[in-house]
Chains A and B, each alone.
Chain A
Amino acid sequence: GDSVTQMEGPVTLSEEAFLTINCTYTATGYPSLFWYVQYPGEGLQLLLKATKADDKGSNKGFEATYRKETTSFHLEKGSVQVSDSAVYFCALYNTDKLIFGTGTRLQVFP
């Protein structure tokens, strides 16, 4: 079945460092891809999305590009802030279901 694999965390960075969180997927057909973010004590929020190959999703300084050839959707940010500390979930939508990765915790220190 369809699945999403994310790098294990936690990812610990200093403020203004460059962030990459890797995500790869396995799916039949042409899924849509997403990054969701969960801040402490809150529900998930959609961060960005890409619906077809080579699309780049972006929001709040975060970016991810839908790479069909490598089945990847890595999340990047050029300069992280303490307020970016959260759990980040990569997800795909296919056959009526959102399937999530296991989440990657990001901790940013001043």
Chain B
Amino acid sequence: DTAVSQTPKYLVTQMGNDKSIKCEQNLGHDTMYWYKQDSKKFLKIMFSYNNKELIINETVPNRFSPKSPDKAHLNLHINSLELGDSAVYFCASSSVTGSYYEQYFGPGTRLTVT
């Protein structure tokens, strides 16, 4: 059973398009995250949701909009894609009853914008 899953695994699209990445966790966690990993492997948090509420919103262009329909899902919608959005996007989750820092990561979605 996959603990944190993401779809799609690969996404190739053209500049200007709108795309979504989906994330689901079956760990019963109450906090979910989106991270962006650039071509140099640098990993940076973008958003964090706790019980469907946004709690961390780093300096991310407003073309990126996270949505959490329930505690087990956190989707990322990106409007008007740009070349610089090409990266690997990781979803993660953690539990307040466990440790916020013990985050479980999904396998990543490699987004390529051409």
Interface residue ranges, A against B (CB under 8 Å):
32, 34, 38, 41-46, 49, 87, 89, 93, 96-100, 102-103, 105
Contact = CB atoms under 8 A, between A and B. Distances in A.
Given A42-B107, A43-B4, A100 B101 contact: no
A89 B101 CA distance: 14
B101 A32 contact: yes
Contacts of A97: 45, 48, 56
A96 B105 contact: no
Given A87-B41, A98-B103, 14 more contacts: A38-B41, A42-B108, A43-B4, A43-B90, A43-B108, A49-B101, A93-B101, A96-B55, A96-B56, A97-B45, A97-B56, A100-B44, A102-B42, A105-B41
B43 A89 contact: yes
18 contacts: A38-B41, A43-B92, A43-B105, A44-B90, A44-B92, A46-B103, A93-B100, A96-B48, A96-B56, A97-B45, A98-B45, A98-B103, A99-B45, A100-B42, A100-B43, A102-B40, A103-B41, A105-B41
Contacts of A34: 101
A103 B43 CA distance: 8
Interface string B81-114: 0000000001010000000111111111000000
B7 to A, nearest CB: 14
A8 to B, nearest CB: 10
Interface string B28-50: 00000000000011111100100
Nearest to B103: A98
Interface in B1-24: 4
A103 B42 contact: yes
A105 B41 CA distance: 10
A104 to B, nearest CB: 9
A89 B103 CA distance: 13
Nearest to B106: A43
A55 B51 CA distance: 32
